[in-house]
Structure 1
Amino acid sequence: MKNSYCRRIGALSTLLAVGALSFGFDTVPKPLHLLRQVMAFYEATQPEVSYLHLDQAAYVAGETLWFKAYLLDASSHQPDSLSKVLYVDVVAPDRQVLLKRTLALTDGLATGDMVLPDTLRSGVYTLRAYTSWMRNSDAGLFFTRRIPVWQASAPVSIGAETSVMRQAQLARRTARALEAATKPDVQFFPEGGEYVAGLQTTVGVKAAQAGGRGLALAGVIIDGNKREVARFSTPALGMSSFGFTPQPGQKYEARVTLPDGSTATYPLPAVRASGWVLNVREVGDDFRVFVRYQPPAGATTATAPLQLLAHVRGQPVYAGQGQIGPGETFQATIARSAAPAGLLHVSLFDGQQVAQAERLVFVTEARPLQVRLRPDKATYGPRELVNMEVEVTTSDGQPAPAELSLTVAGTPGLPAEAGDATTVRAHLLLTSELRGYVESPAYYLQSRTPETRRALDDLLLTQGWSRFTWQQVLGEPGTAAAGYRYPLERGIVVAGQLVRGNDKLVPNGELMLLIGKQKDIVVSKADANGNFLFTGFPGQDSTKILLQGRTAKGSSNLLLQLNEWWPRPVPAGWRPPAPLSPVVLASAEVVAYGQRSRRQQQLERIYRPDSTSGIILRNVDIRGRKEPENSGFRLHRTSQASSVLYARDFSNIESYQNIFQMLQGRVAGLTLTPNGISYSAQLRGITSMAGSNSPLFLLDGLPLLNPDALLSIPPTDVDRIEVLMGANATIYGSQGASGVIAVYTKRGLGDYSNVPAAGVAVRQLPVFHRTREFYAPRYDAGRSSEKPDPRATTLYWQPRLTVPTSGRARVSFYTADQAGTFRASIEGVSLAGQPAMAEAALTVAGQP
């Protein structure tokens, strides 16, 4: 990493010297500092990008979603080896995280699967993939993909057809009513960032429905005198642009004709009397940059200095500086060949190095990988061997090693309505750098036609860029990651912050971690910002932990804000996807696919009964005895307790405010003294010369540093309270010298993971997912099977397809009983960081 950084600095110096000559300067221009800061930001923050290749684009409830995970360096797109843990989840339209996977990464790669519950309602679910380190940046940089899941019902009988049609009509009316009640979102974005009076510019338009999908509409721009000054219309993806010259003192609004024929008005951003306008155009093999400037009224100088720089993912492309006056146009040329593929970020600064305008343009791959996928035949019979050759080369024919994944799925599949058509190329080169939802990313890169080029440019006019803000970059070098809350994970960790009720950080606090069945205790301290981190958890079993914190002065009057492993999407940035069409749900295409899928699921349950783990057990006899007590770990039995209070014996337990009130007056020799909101406890006749006279408090078998943590447990959740005194408490050693009070809840410690309690937090550690192997039987000569082959949707899934330095690999599998056409699709990245993609078709003929 350091050597790469030095090489880039050397290239930067050469680039800046050329830039200086092009602008007529004989010294290195000021943008050197800016580009060095950008490179230092990437070096310090080491951003990552994730991607998931799926076996299908849409699913029926009850099917298995198979995926290959790629974690890459965000700058070079080479496999990343820093983070070792990837989180993958499925989010429902109401923002609930439904399914979770924790994956152990090896050289930036992992495989996974999720069995979609057969009870899932038809809808569009969001699949996400991210690391802990990625959470320090905008959540818009997570890999996200909308996945349609259909609840395909059985074929409709003639008698029930009328009822189903009536339900479909009602659903359509409801959907239309919801759409009508939600005003479409129409926004206007001047190129570069602002309107400046008297300076012509391009304005991007973005029209979207409530769920974020594009909307085709038309409108006019009118000024404050109700005069029409421009017209525009948007295609189905909802984005377009038009030329516009704002005038001084005018306010503008758009009068839009909506799809239902109604009209609505939307204000345009205010016009500035002075400022900068930045326009970028692709001309032949170059990008032409045009800058114009309107000085403030009464400016003392006629000209103003400017600085211009461009980079792709932190890799410097262009830098220069110059002077500009009113009425002048400053021009610069950026050779497209000088930039790596992806988003070129062009920034304009004034003489004080304050960013005044920014523009994104797309650089196509000049030398894309050549990936070939060749089946040995075009048509196969049932249960016949398929051999596929994979070849990956550079554009000049040199072999290129790569990490790939392969899926072979039936066509036609399910409708991908409301889903995202994306690819590894579209994500790495486009959407991984953009903030917000992008509909159908693959469309923009599938071909280079005038229509797609215009659509891509309109997208970049209206979509926000997320990697950094200039305030972050222009700070002290090397400090960009100093305030990051989420750690770079090499394994499962427990991390968070100590705060007070007013969200004020608690510096240098003391922490004690108690680990489930092992009864291990780990002591640590928070840093000056209240951050704490515990590492070393193997992720092999789901262990419950209890974490207690105190201030440096010993007070437990604080809260532990633990980093949750699967965060819910924040409401501010969440747009629930539109519901799936009931008409499509009842279509012959979905019904036919649903029949194939149901048969496949039934056969899997019969011949592979454990569809969750992939492990089939023989018939066994299980003998054991029921544990009569709560499962929290303990050193004593209930029979050893001096006193036991059962919650079932409290006829009016709802009237007790806390556990201490339950104890008051019910245990002989126990004195409880209120002290503000807290209680002090002492068992009569028991004193300690060496330490506290307070008894040891346990919650579900785990000791508490401060009994105030019990104040957060509702008495209705208590199962029993056991009190040990004298010889009965000696099993706890010196900790039990003043007696023991053990509280056991009805459901165990883990149910309080989301209950805020003073100085205590309880969590259950995630477990690394053990991915199943895709069922791919072999039908070698002499090993035929009479069992039906259930593979009717995804015929083959190979997530670990490694292409060696020879650039060639071979994949073999057998067809199943299902006839039809299938599409084989490869995705992945070369070890040099280039996206790799290929497709091929094959046919399976039916039985003669």
Structure 2
Amino acid sequence: MRIYKKLSLPAFFSALVLLIPGFMTSSIPEKEIQSLIAKTNLFNLRFPQERVYLHLDRPSYFANDDLWFKAYVKGSPVNECNLYVEIINTSGQVVSKNLAWIEDGLAYGDIHLPDSLPGGMYQVRAYTNWMRNFDEVWFFRKNLLIWNGRDKKLVPETTELRVRDIDLQFFPEGGTFVTGIPNKVAFKAVDKQGKGIDLRGAVIDESGNRVVEIKSHHQGTGCFTIVPVKGKKYTAEVIFGDDLVKKTDLPKPGDEGVILTANALDPARIEIQVIRKFPDSDKELAPEYLLVAQSGGEVCHHEQFAIQQETTSFELKKNKLPGGIIKFTLFDSRLIPVCERLVFNNHVNVVHLVIKTDKTEYKRREPIKIGVAAFTDQGMPCLTNLSMSVFNTPAILNKEEHPGNIFTHFLLNSELKGIIEDPAYYFKDDSITTLVALDHVMMTHGYREFEWKEILGDSFPEIDYQPEPSLELRGRVISANTHRPVVNGEVTMITLKSLLGVYKEKTDSLGKFVFSDLFFYDTVYVSLEAKTRNGKQSAYIEIDSSSTISPKSGYLPQFSVYRKEASRTIPGTIVEPTRNAGWKKWSVNDTVLIGEVNVTARKTYKDDGHPRIYLEADFVLDLAKSNDAPANIFDYIEGKIPGVIYEEKTKTFYARGNKLKIYMDGMEDRMGIVASLPSQWFDKVEYVRSGIFAGVNYAGGILFFYANRGGRFISTPKKSEHMEGARIIGYSVSRKFYTPSYEETPLAEIKEDHRNTLYWNPILKTDSSGVATAAFYQSDDIGDMKIVVEGVTSEGHLCRGISGYRVKY
């Protein structure tokens, strides 16, 4: 379907063009109507529906690859927040996680796929903390095929399609099914993974008569018209594939009611019909109704009217309404919703980018120059923020005919419930076949916004996850004596290792505290100490780790096909990777030859991963093997190291009359941080009688404290009073995509170049003339190369363009 471009967006609130002369204005109080609209818009303002889209550098990957992404965020309640990007396997396990920072609706980063990653289907998932308050269906999800060189080929599992795994549903248009008048009924058949299954069959009545033939139009969806008879029951008897038969009852029709129909096939207008069947005694009445149109949750139009005839028709001009999905709701005179219909308006503000290369054909390792232009239909340049990917198409593992993109995600997938397969299919042209298929999607998928009963009943969703404008550490303090929250207590946080710092916060009326405005990369370990408002240490600290724990996934990636291909159309083609794609990796300058070097180093203990600056300790205290209750680390080791005496008042250790130095993970603790840490933070304490043996210019002894290696801290039944340790996951370091320069490096020094992603730029911007340029060198691969550019304009309009070039020799 063609998306009509209109870059100067008119006002949303427009008058309806009424076609029926007798169309009357009703007497529903205007005050009640305005109250309904105000409640709707306020609800949408308080609970905005955040949406995330990721542009990836290519559709599929190999183990040991880097996955590059740029995130585009709309509807965020805050201007800056955290973004979680995860790779999930078919079991729902998070195999990799990236924490990026969103600024002005944009973020970018990369994830390294380890070489040990088994080949198969995975899923990249992206969400914010705010999105976790609502259904996981609104997270960004994209399935990825990843191949490992250890695997000879990728073979999907074969499963048997069973009748009990098929879900067949029927959706009367507008939500009502009334006898005696024509009813349009849509249907959708999906398997247990939510994938569409094509069908054919008929609707039969209770006497076995075939009333109407039905057949799916695209991806298991379709539509038919039926005039139900009063008192009769209807059943659909359909066939999937060659021999799977399923019977499903249609909804029971009512003897009276209202039907709301819509037709958006005309390129300029949306036709609306309201059909009402009522008893003869009510024929003289003119029932009052209110039609409300919503776009993105906001009311963009409303009109009240009275029905004087059985059928009332009117039309809306598309260029007077917002583009994208519009939800029409019909209310009766008591403002109770009776019908609802989704319609797609293809007058959308988008910019189709023009992408040109300086040549159409290239040689290996030849410089490539690409220009991108963003202009309105009137020829005005657009300021844009774009991401560009250039990749080798022969290296793509699965060939998708109509994959999702920034248009389909924000206009379709992020607005509707359920899985939308091959979403770009519905935007490929403006033929009747495509438009009808898109309308079937509108009739069979629920809208993402809240139901009217929640809005009218002031039923607000529970908010457990707040937006995160920075890194945060949350928790609460509980009294060790009364087990009640400690109000107005003081919590001190000390960051360890290279990011040394001390922070203080007060607890609120619920004993809760939060350390915010934290910005750092990688993982930071912190020590927390709590005191009551009287300065006593009789309190426990509970860490709130809900935001750091990945939510359980209910939409797992699947890598399977049905044994009988006729029973289902398999989206995409799985191809066996070529040797060049799978084995010949990018290897320019990945090996450096050096001359003879004499290396002198201290011994490293490889069994526990702790590097040491001494050959052997005089005494080793292994805390990992201890079953003692946790306590302060100094109190814990007191009396357990022969010849070492602890003075509690000064928190100092002595041996042979000399004060001992304290080291943590190979660094001297000059700030006394170790003294405040709990024992469960450490797995070993080692004593060296003289610093000289450790290469330190100090005659006295040294205590070396080694923190737990990897993993999360495990809570123990008995907590240490007033102290707790925690781990804060920092932002992932954003690297710069590297491309070689063959102009500067002699060819003899360069190994084979088989980059699958040739170029990636997440911050490509057009200038005041609407133009942006990119340049890089081609690899050693030949064939077709694809260019994909996506982004947004300074006014928030979506941008996209695709192009390519060929490498012949």
- What is the TM-score of this pair, normalised by structure 2? 0.76
Cα deviation 1:261-306 (Å, max 9, x = unaligned): 1212233344445544221112532112222345699999955322
Partner of 1:40: 42
Residue 269 of structure 2 aligns with which residue? 286
Match status 1:412 vs 2:394? yes
Match of 2:523 in 1: 542
Correspondence list, 1:498-517, <5 A: 512=491, 514-517=493-496
| Structure-2 change in CA distance of 1:374 and 1:720 (3 Å) | closer
Between 311-320 and 208-217, report the one with greater CA deviation. 311-320
Report the CA distance between 1:540 and its aligned residue. 2.5
Which position in structure 1 is the counterpart of 2:250?
268
| Alignment equivalent of 1:493, drawn from 466, 472, 475 | 472
* Aligned partner (choices 702, 713, 728) of residue 752 of structure 1: 713
Query: Deviation string for 1:399-427 (max 9, x for gaps)?
Result: 11111111111233424268981111111
Matching residue of 1:137: 134
1:688-837 equivalences under 5 Å are: 747=708, 751-752=712-713, 763-780=726-743, 786-837=749-800
Deviations 1:425-452 (A, max 9, x none): 1111111211222111111112222221
1:626-665 equivalent positions in 2, closer than 5 A: none
- In structure 1, the residue matched to 2:424 is 442
Q: Give 1:777 shift.
A: 1.4
- Which residue in the other structure is 2:194 paired with? 212
Instruction: Give the whole-Å Cα distance in 2 for the aligned partners of 1:497 and 1:307.
Output: 49
Distance 2:424 2:523 in 1: 39
Query: Does the 8 A contact of 1:233 with 1:240 survive in 2?
Result: yes
Q: Are residues 102 and 229 of structure 1, via their aligned partners in 2, closer, same or farther at CA, if it must alter by over 3 Å?
A: same
- The letter for the 1-side match of 2:560 is P
Structure 2: distance between partners of 1:135 and 1:256: 39
Answer whether contact 2:218 2:437 (CA < 8 A) is retained.
no
Q: 1:538 to 1:497 in 2, by over 3 A?
A: same
Is 1:112–1:771's contact at 8 Å kept on the other side of the alignment? Answer: yes
Q: Which residue in 1 is equivalent to 2:69?
A: 67
Partner of 1:844 in structure 2?
A: 807
Structure-1 residue corresponding to 2:329: 347
Tell me the residue number matched to 2:407: 425
Rate the CA distance shift 1:236–1:20 in 2: closer, same or farther, 3 A: closer
- Which residue of structure 2 lines up, in the alignment, with residue 82 of structure 1? 79
- Cα displacement (A) at 1:152: 5.1
CA contact (8 A) 1:414 1:589 kept: no
- In the TM superposition, residue 547 of structure 1 has moved relative to its aligned partner by 6.8
What's the secondary structure of 2:264's corresponding residue?
strand
Specify the code of the residue in structure 1 equivalent to 2:743. D
Matched, 1:599 2:599: no
Secondary structure of the equivalent of 1:427?
helix
User: What letter corresponds to residue 133 of structure 1 in structure 2?
Assistant: W
Cα distance in 1 for residues equivalent to 2:411 and 2:321: 12
Find the residue that maps to 1:467 and give its secondary structure.
coil
Q: Paired residue for 1:390?
A: 372
The more displaced of 65-74 and 414-423 is: 414-423
Kindly state the Cα deviation for residue 356 of structure 1 after the two structures are TM-superposed: 2.3
Corresponding position of 1:312: 295
8 Å Cα contact 2:92-2:556 kept in structure 1: no
Contact 2:406–2:798 (CA under 8 A) maintained in structure 1: yes
Amino acid corresponding to residue 279 of structure 1 in structure 2: T
Q: Secondary structure of 1:357's partner?
A: strand
| Conservation of the 8 A alpha-carbon contact between 1:750 and 1:763 | no
- Sort the Cα spacing of 1:510 and 1:493 in 2 relative to 1 into closer, same or farther, 3 A: same
CA apart distance, 1:227: 3.6
In 2: Cα distance, 1:498 partner to 1:387 partner = 60
Aligned counterpart, 2:304: 321
Decide whether aligned partners of structure 1 residues 649 and 440 sit closer, same or farther in structure 2, where only a CA change above 3 A counts.
closer
**In 2, are the aligned partners of 1:392 and 1:400 still within 8 Å (CA)?**
yes
Match for residue 177 of structure 2? 195
Superposition RMSD in Å? 5.1
For 2:65 and 2:42, the matched residues in 1 are separated by 46
The answer to whether the 8 Å contact 2:18/2:314 transfers is: no
Deviations 1:356-389 (A, max 9, x none): 2221111113564242111111112222222222
Matches of 2:486 and 2:231, distance apart in 1: 52
Residue 560 (structure 2) aligns with: 579
* In 1, Cα distance between equivalents of 2:501 and 2:186: 61
Q: What is the alpha-carbon distance in structure 1 between the residues aligned to residue 331 and residue 533 of structure 2?
A: 46
In structure 2, C-alpha distance between the alignment counterparts of 1:782 and 1:647, rounded to whole Å: 53
Q: Deviations over 1:25-50 (max 9, x none)?
A: 69958544333333333333344322
Compared CA separation, residues 647 and 765, structure 1 to 2 (3 A): closer
> Does the CA-based 8 Å contact 1:125-1:147 persist in structure 2?
yes
1:595 alignment partner AA: N
Using the TM superposition, give the Cα deviation of residue 781 of structure 1 relative to its aligned residue in structure 2, in angstroms: 6.8
Q: CA deviation at 1:498?
A: 9.6
Cα distance 1:844–1:139, how it changes in 2: closer, same or farther (>3 A)?
A: same
Q: What are the superposed Cα offsets for residues 808-841 of structure 1, whole Å, 9 maximum, x if unpaired? A: 1221112122222211121111112222111222
Query: How far 1:15 moved relative to its partner?
Result: 5.0
Contact 1:97-1:566 at 8 Å conserved across structures: no
SS at match of 1:42: helix
State the distance in 1 between where 2:221 and 2:30 align.
41
Q: Give the Å deviation of 1:116.
A: 1.8
Figure out how many residues of one structure are paired with residues of the other and give that number: 727
Amino acid at match of 1:488: P
Bigger fraction of residues in helix = 1
Q: Is 1:107–2:88 an aligned residue pair?
A: no
Describe the SS at the equivalent of 2:737.
Answer: coil
Q: Deviations over 1:787-825 (max 9, x none)?
A: 025244222222221012211122111212222221112
Secondary structure in 2 matching 1:264 = strand
For residue 89 of structure 1, report the CA deviation from its aligned partner: 0.9
Change in 2 beyond 3 A, CA 1:779/1:408: same
Distance 1:631 1:745 in 2: 10
Match of 1:96 in 2: 93
Distance 1:73 1:599, change over 3 A: same
Give CA-to-partner distance per residue, 1:285-332, whole Å, 9 cap, x none.
Answer: 21122223456999999553221111222454321112337x722333
For each residue in 1:331-374, what CA deviation from the matched residue of structure 2 results, as whole angstroms up to 9, or x when unmatched?
Answer: 33221111222111111122222222221111113564242111
Shift of 1:192: 1.9
Q: Is the 8 A contact 2:387 2:761 kept in 1?
A: yes
Q: What residue ranges of structure 1 are gaps of 5+ in the alignment?
A: 1-9, 75-79, 156-163, 610-615, 633-638, 661-665, 669-684, 687-699, 723-743
For the residue of structure 2 that corresponds to 1:57, the secondary structure is coil
- Matched to 2:343, the amino acid is V
Cα separation, partners in 2 of 1:104 and 1:649, compared to 1, 3 Å: closer
Cα deviation code 1:34-78 (max 9, x no counterpart): 33333333333344322111111122223222212222347xxxx
1:562 to 540, 545, 557: 545
d(CA) in 1 for partners of 2:202 and 2:19?
42
- In the TM superposition, residue 745 of structure 1 has moved relative to its aligned partner by 11
Contact residue 194 and residue 418 of structure 2 kept, 8 A: no
Structure-2 residue corresponding to 1:244: 226
Note if contact 1:50-1:142 (Cα within 8 Å) is conserved in structure 2.
yes
Question: Which secondary structure state, in structure 2, belongs to the residue aligned with residue 464 of structure 1?
Answer: coil
Closer/same/farther in 2, CA of residues 363 and 247 from structure 1, 3 Å limit: same
Match of residue 159 from structure 1? none
Partners of 1:182 and 1:604 in 2: CA distance: 54
